[in-house]
């Protein structure tokens, strides 16, 4: 069977509504990522996992985000606190492989329940507005990186712990965004290596990557254009609503509605 035949058979096996949901999730995830520097996984993973499963969803987001955010890295590198970012990434070196093992060997249905619950908890955490207000300390930075790496390896959900840790300090929003972008550039490399050795990069991942690519790219572009122009408080509330809806729709309880 040729690649085009395989592509066609895999796509036609799912209803147009499901494919539209997948594309819409990719666009909304890109919009959040382009605007704030994080939040893509909280929107994309629950919805996409309900359509293609958590292993494919996590690998697709890793690749599509890694490819399309390359242009964000140079300005982030110049602005970021590189010492702090590299310290955080050192923690991810331990956390990401642990999360990848969970993703590779866990039961898909159980993983979806875990992902949905974690997304709801992280959403409540973000809404609470809690931020670490102390000075960054190396052991705490490493621990935060480890936790974020664990979440990233398991479901690409490492953003909220990182943001909560950095956003409460003395850094202004633009510098926090630069730190986040640079950290995720590094953690993407770590995750890609871990996913490769975990056997998570499959033909299905490539196909759904190609489907998600234009929509995620359009969302990234729109989000980047909105950054600095839109009301950040209003946009954040919209993102919170989208995250909540994604977590609910992605619950296995509603699988009968997605067939």
DSSP structure string for 208-219: HHHHHHHHHHHH
End-to-end C-alpha distance for the chain, whole angstroms: 26
Mean pLDDT across 2-28? 74
Residue 130 above 60 pLDDT? yes
Nearest alpha-carbon partner for 65 in 187, 241, 246: 187
Confidence of residue 69 (pLDDT cuts 50, 70, 90): confident
Residue 180 CA: distances (Å) to CA of 101, 236, 248? 24, 17, 27
* Alpha carbons 214 and 231: distance in angstroms, whole number: 26
**Left if phi > 0, otherwise alpha if psi is -120 to 50, otherwise beta: which for 2?**
beta
* Alpha carbons 37 and 177: distance in angstroms, whole number: 6
Q: Which residue has the higher pLDDT, 47 or 235?
A: 47
CA angle 38, 39, 44 (to 5 degrees): 130
Phi then psi for residue 32, to 5 deg, are: -65, -40
- Mean pLDDT of all residues belonging to the chain: 83
Query: What pLDDT, on a 0 to 100 scale, did the predictor assign at position 96?
Result: 95
pLDDT in tens, 97-115: 999 999 999 888 888 888 8
Mean pLDDT across 230-240? 70
Residue 139 CA: distances (Å) to CA of 80, 148, 150, 157? 20, 14, 17, 21
* Alpha carbons 135 and 191: distance in angstroms, whole number: 28
Query: What pLDDT, on a 0 to 100 scale, did the predictor assign at position 158?
Result: 84
Mean pLDDT across 213-218? 95
The number of residues making up the chain comes to 259
Residue 259 above 70 pLDDT? no
* Alpha carbons 135 and 44: distance in angstroms, whole number: 32
- List the single range of 63-72, 101-110, 247-256 with lowest mean pLDDT: 247-256
Mean pLDDT across 27-53? 85
Residue 240 above 80 pLDDT? no
Q: Which residue has the higher pLDDT, 18 or 210?
A: 210
> Is residue 46 classed as helix, strand or coil in its secondary structure?
helix
- List the single range of 14-28, 48-62, 78-92, 198-212 with lowest mean pLDDT: 14-28
Query: What pLDDT, on a 0 to 100 scale, did the predictor assign at position 37?
Result: 66
Query: What pLDDT, on a 0 to 100 scale, did the predictor assign at position 126?
Result: 75
Cβ–Cβ < 8 Å for 31, 43: no
pLDDT in tens, 138-187: 888 899 999 999 989 998 888 888 877 877 665 566 677 788 889 989 99
């Amino acid at each position: 069977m040729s690649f085009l035949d395989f592509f066609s058979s895999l796509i036609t096996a799912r209803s147009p509504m499901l494919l539209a949901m997948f594309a819409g999730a990719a666009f909304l995830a890109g919009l959040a990522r382009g605007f704030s520097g994080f939040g893509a996984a909280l929107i994309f993973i629950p919805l996409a996992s309900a359509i293609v499963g958590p292993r494919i969803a996590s690998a697709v987001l890793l690749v599509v985000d890694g490819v399309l955010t390359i242009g964000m890295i140079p300005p982030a590198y110049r602005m970021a606190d590189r010492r702090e970012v590299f310290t955080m990434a050192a923690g991810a070196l331990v956390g990401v492989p642990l999360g990848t093992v969970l993703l590779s060997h866990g039961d898909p249905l159980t993983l979806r329940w875990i992902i949905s619950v974690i997304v709801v908890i992280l959403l409540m955490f973000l809404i609470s507005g809690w931020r670490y207000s102390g000075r960054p300390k190396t052991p705490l930075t490493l621990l935060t990186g480890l936790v974020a790496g664990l979440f990233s390896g398991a479901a690409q959900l490492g953003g909220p712990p990182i943001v909560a840790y950095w956003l409460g300090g003395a850094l202004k929003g633009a510098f926090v965004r630069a730190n986040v972008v640079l950290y995720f550039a590094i953690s993407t490399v770590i995750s890609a290596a871990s996913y490769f050795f975990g056997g998570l990069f499959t033909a299905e991942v490539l196909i759904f990557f190609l489907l998600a690519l234009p929509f995620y790219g359009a969302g990234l572009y729109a989000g980047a254009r909105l950054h600095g122009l839109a009301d950040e408080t209003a946009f954040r509330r919209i993102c919170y609503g989208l995250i909540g809806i994604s977590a609910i729709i992605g619950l296995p309880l509603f699988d009968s509605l997605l067939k």
